[in-house]
């Protein structure tokens, strides 16, 4: 308890109590309790609220089985629909993360080491300002941009590149663009922070020793930026896999995001239990996936949190 | 392979600021050449122009007779040792050293072999697998040298690489650098503001002030026959009196100063005429407690400092408010405190040099 005494002495008793309470409140009420409720829900039979806590609200694994085997009344052996959506969501999230990484690394490098003074600040500002607009509105604006009578189609048809408007929405291009854009800042800023701390002389030294630009990045800049890259990738991957607004608004009629199935469980099928089970499955899979990737690329958790 | 370096009428401008003004230099093949000057004099700018990180606004840089215009730092036969060394912290020592070879596609086994040889050269055998952060300052210094030498440059450029080391290590590294240069036989261009480093290591020294090369010569000439009042005051310590030339010929010049009339050698590098405003410079070690010399004057001892091998005595002189400094070898005899005493001191005309009045180095 020594650290607690030091903590109180350093901050003064009122502030220390406030800090301690708010952190504990945040951890228990906002994170741990809701998650525990979800776990609990996911492990119980789906009964209407009045029967919650009665004998019929018993523990079961049926909701976890559902994603694999589907409904017992169905003729299919496996629940290919839900599993397919689950896999497609993960693969899509991986691709969106990679696209973001490829887009954002050069931007972050440019901001950190090339752009000078006012121009750099203007660029950062123009990256941030669009995100003052609500996520749903931004998704709708992409729908307008990519619509059959949207600016992009009008332009492409206007210059004669296309004979007739291309259906970006049905072909999921609007969705990919929207998702890629949605979390771009969460990729740029961690990379920017880590690249920015690189000593400019190291880049010059590598160049002086004869290195072409790509090798400078490969051997000097990227290794230095690895914690930022991992941190950005983790956040973008997690958030993309868990995105709801962009897939609901920009997704084509045939594409379904896993979060949409979870949403249906809670809001349309009134099956909170299955919704919870699916949400837990998504969360655990994402965490395991991120940990495995970190292991492969030899990144420690502490580095990401820096 | 070694190459000479030539700067022809090099100008470097940053907006209105002129960092190098019409610089003409020839640095011979295999020479240890030092550019010496106070900070902000443009010496680093010149080095960057040679290494290719900066294109001169005007003029030419030639290495081995080849014009370097438009050739980037990665394609010049130079290697630069940075002031902060700029070693790669995420690579091991041997990977750092052989980075230039990795760039050229040399295979791993050959690189390891070369790393072992170079680690031998810098007296750090068996340290190749350590990370750079595990080495001491002096060891890192040597790794930086090895990394630059691995690129097999014709010219090695050094940007104040010893400034981060402590005094003992710095003095040790001076002789080590000189030894390495003689062993590998390539041209070294060394940048420093430390005249001690310049004098001990260099074949030739260029003194630079505000973008202009003031004098190029070997160390002893620089010390004994400074070409300008700036060089005289910047290289080593110097006392000076300012006055008017009353008499001058090829060998000696006499000045009338507020502290008296003094005679010194006429500078070989500058011409003086009767009536000119001029300085007479006298080194602290050339002033003696002796009234029988060519020039003599009365002074009051302000204080004295003991430096082990030397005594430094500070004198107040009439007509000269910054005073004089006198160095005398500690010959082991007892030195009583003479602060406050009035003494007679003097110096010989041959050990004083007269130069036209001009800018002095900042104290």
Residues 6 or more apart whose CB falls under 8 angstroms from that of A226 comprise: A194, A297, A299, A303
Q: What is the pLDDT of residue A229?
A: 92
Nearest to B5 by CA among B156, B161, B152, B191: B156
Query: Cα separation of B275 and B269, whole Å?
Result: 19
pLDDT (tens digit, 9 = 90+) per residue, B190-232? 999 998 899 999 999 999 999 999 999 999 999 999 999 999 9
Mean pLDDT, rounded, for B8-22? 93
Can you read off the two tokens belonging to residue B68? 């370097």
A263 found inside a domain:
yes
Query: Cα separation of B10 and B16, whole Å?
Result: 16
Angle A280-A284-A286 from CA coordinates, rounded to 5°: 120
Q: What is the least distance, in Å, from the CA of A104 to any CA of chain B?
A: 23
User: What CATH number should be reported for the domain holding residue A274?
Assistant: 1.10.3720.10
Say yes or no for a CB contact (<8 Å) between B104 and A219: no
Can you read off the two tokens belonging to residue B159? 């940007």
Could you say which residues from 164 to 193 on chain A have a Cβ atom under 8 Å away from some Cβ of chain B?
Answer: none
Could you state, in order of their start, the residue ranges of all structural domains in chain B? 5-224, 229-356
Say yes or no for a CB contact (<8 Å) between A201 and B91: no
Q: Which residue of B has its CA nearest to A212?
A: B74
Query: Cα separation of B14 and A7, whole Å?
Result: 52
pLDDT tens for each residue of chain A, 306 residues long: 788 888 888 888 889 899 999 999 999 988 899 889 888 888 888 877 777 777 777 788 888 888 877 777 777 778 888 888 899 899 999 999 999 999 999 999 999 988 877 888 898 899 999 889 888 888 888 888 888 888 888 888 888 888 888 888 888 888 888 999 989 999 999 999 999 999 999 999 999 999 999 999 999 999 999 999 999 999 999 999 998 888 888 887 777 889 988 888 888 877 888 889 999 999 999 999 889 888 888 887 777 665
Which residue from B82, B88, B151 is facing A210, i.e. has the nearest CB?
B151
Q: Tally C-beta pairs within 8 A across A and B.
A: 58
Mean pLDDT, rounded, for B144-170? 89
Please name the fold of domain B5-224: Rossmann fold (3.40.50)
Say yes or no for a CB contact (<8 Å) between A210 and B80: no
DSSP annotation of B267: P
A123 found inside a domain:
yes
Interface test with A, best of B44, B80, B103 (most A CBs within 10 A): B103
- Across chain B, the runs of DSSP E, i.e. the strands, are 5-14, 17-27, 32-36, 58-63, 66-67, 78-81, 155-159, 187-192, 204-209, 212-217, 239-248, 252-257, 260-266, 277-282, 295-306, 310-317, 320-329, 342-347, 352-356
pLDDT (tens digit, 9 = 90+) per residue, A130-149? 889 888 888 888 888 888 88
- Domains identified in chain A, total number: 1
Residues 6 or more apart whose CB falls under 8 angstroms from that of A290 comprise: A234, A237, A238
Correct CATH for B229-356 of 2.40.50.100, 3.40.50.880, 3.30.70.240, 3.40.50.300: 2.40.50.100
Which residue from B73, B87, B88 is facing A208, i.e. has the nearest CB?
B73
Nearest to A286 by CA among A276, A297, A278: A278
Interface test with B, best of A199, A202, A208, A215 (most B CBs within 10 A): A208
Mean pLDDT, rounded, for B114-135? 90
Query: Cα separation of B147 and B126, whole Å?
Result: 16
Full domain range(s) for residue A146 = 80-305
Which residue from B80, B87, B102 is facing A208, i.e. has the nearest CB?
B80
ipTM over 0.90: no
Q: In what order do the strands lie in the sheet with B58-63?
A: B17-27, B5-14, B58-63, B66-67
Q: What is the pLDDT of residue B268?
A: 80
Q: What is the pLDDT of residue A64?
A: 85
Query: Cα separation of B264 and B220, whole Å?
Result: 18
Say yes or no for a CB contact (<8 Å) between B151 and A205: no
Q: What is the least distance, in Å, from the CA of B360 to any CA of chain A?
A: 33
Query: Cα separation of A14 and A7, whole Å?
Result: 12
Residues 6 or more apart whose CB falls under 8 angstroms from that of A283 comprise: none
A291 found inside a domain:
yes
Which residue from A207, A210, A224 is facing B90, i.e. has the nearest CB?
A224
DSSP annotation of B88: -
Interface test with A, best of B78, B99, B145, B152 (most A CBs within 10 A): B99
Whether the CB-CB separation of B316 and B276 falls below 8 Å is answered with no
């Amino acid at each position: 308890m020594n650290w607690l005494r030091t903590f109180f002495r350093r901050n003064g008793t009122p502030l220390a109590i406030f800090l301690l309470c708010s952190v504990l409140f945040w951890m228990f009420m906002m994170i741990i309790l809701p998650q525990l409720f979800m776990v609990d829900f996911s492990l119980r039979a789906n009964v209407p609220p009045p029967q919650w806590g009665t004998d019929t609200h018993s523990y079961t694994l049926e909701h976890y089985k559902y994603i694999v085997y589907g409904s017992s009344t169905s003729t299919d052996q496996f629940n290919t629909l839900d599993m397919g959506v689950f896999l497609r969501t993960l693969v899509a999230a991986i691709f969106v993360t990679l696209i973001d990484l490829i887009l954002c690394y050069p931007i972050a490098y440019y901001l950190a080491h090339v752009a000078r003074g006012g121009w750099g600040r203007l660029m950062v500002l123009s990256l941030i300002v669009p995100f003052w607009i609500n996520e749903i509105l931004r998704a709708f604006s992409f729908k307008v941009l990519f619509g059959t009578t949207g600016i992009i189609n009008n332009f492409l048809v206007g210059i004669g590149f296309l004979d007739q408007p291309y259906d970006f929405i049905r072909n999921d291009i609007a969705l990919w663009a929207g998702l890629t854009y949605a979390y771009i800042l969460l990729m740029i800023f961690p990379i920017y922070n880590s690249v920015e701390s690189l000593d400019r002389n190291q880049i010059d030294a590598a160049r002086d020793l004869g290195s072409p630009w790509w090798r400078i990045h490969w051997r000097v800049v990227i290794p230095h930026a690895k914690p930022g890259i991992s941190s950005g990738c983790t956040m973008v991957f997690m958030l993309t896999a868990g995105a709801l607004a962009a897939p609901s608004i920009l997704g084509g009629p045939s594409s379904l995001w896993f979060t949409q199935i979870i949403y249906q469980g809670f809001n349309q099928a009134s099956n909170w239990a299955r919704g919870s089970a699916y949400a837990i499955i998504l969360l655990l899979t994402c965490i395991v996936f991120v940990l495995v990737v970190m292991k492969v690329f030899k990144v420690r958790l502490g580095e990401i949190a820096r | 392979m070694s190459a000479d370096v030539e700067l022809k009428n090099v100008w470097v401008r940053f907006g209105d600021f002129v960092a190098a003004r019409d610089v003409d230099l020839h640095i011979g093949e295999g020479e240890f050449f030092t550019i010496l000057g106070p900070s902000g004099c443009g010496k680093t700018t010149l080095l960057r122009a040679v290494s290719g990180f900066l294109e001169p606004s005007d003029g030419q840089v030639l290495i081995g007779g080849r014009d370097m215009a438009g050739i980037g730092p990665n394609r010049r036969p130079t290697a630069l040792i940075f002031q902060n060394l700029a070693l790669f912290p995420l690579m091991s020592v041997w990977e750092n050293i052989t980075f230039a070879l990795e760039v050229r596609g040399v295979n791993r086994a050959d690189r390891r072999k070369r790393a072992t040889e170079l680690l031998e050269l810098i007296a750090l055998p068996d340290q190749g697998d350590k990370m750079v952060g595990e080495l001491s300052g002096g060891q890192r210094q040597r790794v930086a040298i090895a990394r630059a030498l691995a690129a097999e440059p014709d010219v090695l450029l050094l940007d104040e690489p010893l400034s981060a080391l402590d005094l003992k290590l710095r003095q040790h590294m001076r002789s080590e650098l000189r030894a390495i240069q003689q062993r590998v036989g390539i041209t070294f261009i060394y940048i420093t503001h430390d005249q001690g480093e310049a004098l001990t290591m260099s074949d030739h020294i260029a003194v630079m002030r505000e973008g202009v090369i003031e004098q190029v010569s070997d160390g002893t000439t620089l010390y004994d026959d400074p070409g300008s009042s700036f060089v005289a005051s910047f290289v080593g310590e110097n006392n000076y009196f300012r006055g008017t030339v009353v008499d001058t010929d090829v060998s000696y010049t006499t000045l009338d100063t507020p502290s008296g009339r003094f005679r010194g050698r006429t500078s070989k590098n500058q011409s003086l005429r009767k009536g000119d405003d001029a300085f007479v410079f006298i080194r602290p070690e050339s002033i003696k407690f002796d009234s029988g010399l060519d020039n003599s004057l009365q002074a009051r001892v302000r204080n004295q400092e003991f430096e082990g091998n030397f005594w430094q005595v500070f004198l107040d002189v009439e007509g000269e408010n910054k005073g004089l400094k006198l160095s005398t070898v500690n010959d082991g005899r007892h030195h009583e405190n003479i602060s406050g005493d009035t003494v007679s001191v003097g110096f010989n005309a041959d050990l004083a040099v007269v130069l036209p009045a001009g800018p002095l180095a900042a104290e």
